Amino acid sequence: MSLPRQHRLRSPQDFTSVYQQGRKVVSRCLVVRALLESAPLEGAASIASRFGVTVSQKVSKRAVIRNRLKRQIHTAISQLNPQISSGHSVVINVRPRAITCGYGDFLRELEHLLIKLEVLNGHS
């Protein structure tokens, strides 16, 4: 399951700006970087948060495994999407340990890291 187009980071410049200017948090399976885009003008529609997922060949040489990991993370993002505040650009890097993680692990870790980065609504 892929993310809708308006929720995806697509250009290399988008990824680069998040890597250079975004805040970073690390967990056992994931590294998440988030950058709050400039706030829209009063009365303007808010920008949907956008996500990019990267899985290096260091995680697995097999594309089948890398794609499975990406699908699991996309599904976790889709499930958390109603709680995600708008205007963020987020890049999720999968670490080599992620091969042993299941969907539930990704969901818990992603939720925890997004709360730390203040991307989820109702963060504490």
Place 12 in a pLDDT band, splitting at 50, 70 and 90: very high
The answer to whether residue 124 scores a pLDDT higher than 50 is no
pLDDT in tens, 59-112: 999 999 999 999 999 999 999 988 998 899 999 999 999 999 999 999 999 999
pLDDT at site 48: 86
Higher pLDDT, 39 or 82: 82
Query: How would you classify the pairing of strands 88-94 and 50-55?
Result: parallel
Rg (CA), the chain: 14
Q: Of all helices (H) and strands (E), which one includes residue 116? A: helix 103-116
% of the chain beyond a pLDDT of 70 = 90
Q: What is the pTM of this model?
A: 0.89
Q: What is the DSSP letter of 119?
A: -
3-state secondary structure 34-76: EEECCCCCCCCCCCCCEEEEEECCCCCCCHHHHHHHHHHHHHH
Higher pLDDT, 2 or 34: 34
The full set of domains in the chain, from first to last, is: 5-116 (3.30.230.10)
